[in-house]
């Protein structure tokens, strides 16, 4: 048996050698954080194709994010809008999209990732015999939008429309006073339905972004998504894609 002093000296020497060797070993890989993305169903933006696979502009957006997100893989699903919001709130998904930036983000039950993706035009649809504008007191009217009050996107109470077609049909029949929807997708449905008793007016340009859970993990995820989106926005191809999705306000009426 070695004397205690020599034994301690040799042990210390061995520990130093082990530490030096470990310094040259590759760092362990980062823990993968796969994400479930829940998209609200909107015709042309997020829907299920004939092959059963998600399709649309929003799907393409998250495919591009998936390519840039290095911590794991993204699984994309499309659901009725209200269910998609519930998926986030109930912890069945880490991401819900799309979300108009809430009026009061502090009171919202989810976290809006502070790097908006799109800036679409929202139009206020009303009946031609009772037209409404954004300057009217809409708090006294029966207004619906996809997602409704769950989105916390408006300063007045709004009801839930299952989808743009349902909202426009109810409006045309006089069951509601107004419907607020994204211009291009809603206009396409309006033209297909052939409703001529509808009045259109610019509501406002909004910020659409990603919603994550309002938790410590959600806050960390939001920070990572900001990094990914900012990096993607440096790429010409991504900027071209973003600019191609939404256009400027178009002034026309179905009854012209």
Does the pLDDT value for residue 190 go beyond 70? yes
Extended strands (E) in 168-247: 178-182, 198-205, 208-213
Fold match between domain 35-118+207-245 and domain 121-205: yes
DSSP bridge pairs for 208: 100, 118
- pTM as predicted: 0.79
CATH class in words for 121-205: alpha beta
- Are residues 102 and 152 in contact, defined by beta-carbon separation less than 8 angstroms? yes
| Topology annotation, domain 35-118+207-245 | D-Maltodextrin-Binding Protein; domain 2 (3.40.190)
When pLDDT is averaged across residues 33-60 and rounded to a whole number, the result is: 94
In the structure, what pLDDT confidence band is assigned to residue 147 with cuts at 50, 70 and 90?
Answer: confident
Assign 3-class secondary structure to 6-62: HHHHHHHHHHHHHHHHHHCCCCCCCCCCCEEEEEECECCCEEECCCCCEECHHHHHH
Sequence spans of domains, the chain: 35-118+207-245, 121-205
Residue 162: predicted pLDDT: 86
Percent of the chain residues topping a pLDDT of 70: 86
The 3-state DSSP class for residue 207 equals coil
The 3-state DSSP class for residue 228 equals helix
């Amino acid at each position: 048996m070695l004397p205690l002093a020599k034994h301690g000296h040799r042990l210390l020497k061995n520990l130093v050698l082990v530490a030096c060797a470990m310094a040259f070993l590759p760092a362990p890989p980062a823990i993968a954080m796969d994400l479930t993305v829940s998209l609200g169903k909107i015709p042309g933006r997020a829907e299920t194709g004939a092959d059963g696979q998600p399709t649309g502009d929003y799907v393409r957006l998250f495919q591009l994010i998936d390519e840039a997100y290095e911590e794991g893989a993204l699984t994309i699903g499309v659901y009725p809008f209200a269910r998609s919001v519930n998926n986030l709130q109930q912890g069945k998904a880490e991401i819900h999209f799309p979300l108009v930036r809430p009026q009061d983000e502090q009171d919202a039950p989810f976290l809006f990732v502070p790097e908006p993706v799109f800036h679409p035009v929202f139009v206020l649809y009303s009946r031609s015999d009772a037209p409404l504008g954004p300057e009217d007191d809409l708090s006294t009217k029966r207004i619906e939008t996809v997602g409704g009050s769950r989105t916390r996107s408006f300063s007045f109470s709004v009801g839930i429309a299952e989808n743009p077609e349902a909202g426009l049909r109810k409006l045309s029949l006089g069951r509601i006073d107004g419907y607020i929807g994204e211009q291009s997708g809603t206009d396409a449905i309006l033209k297909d339905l052939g409703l001529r008793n509808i009045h259109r007016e610019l509501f406002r340009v909004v910020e659409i972004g990603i919603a994550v859970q309002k938790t410590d993990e959600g806050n960390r995820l939001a920070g990572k998504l900001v990094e990914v989106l900012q990096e993607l926005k440096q790429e010409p191809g991504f900027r071209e894609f973003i600019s191609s999705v939404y256009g400027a306000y178009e002034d026309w009426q179905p009854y012209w």
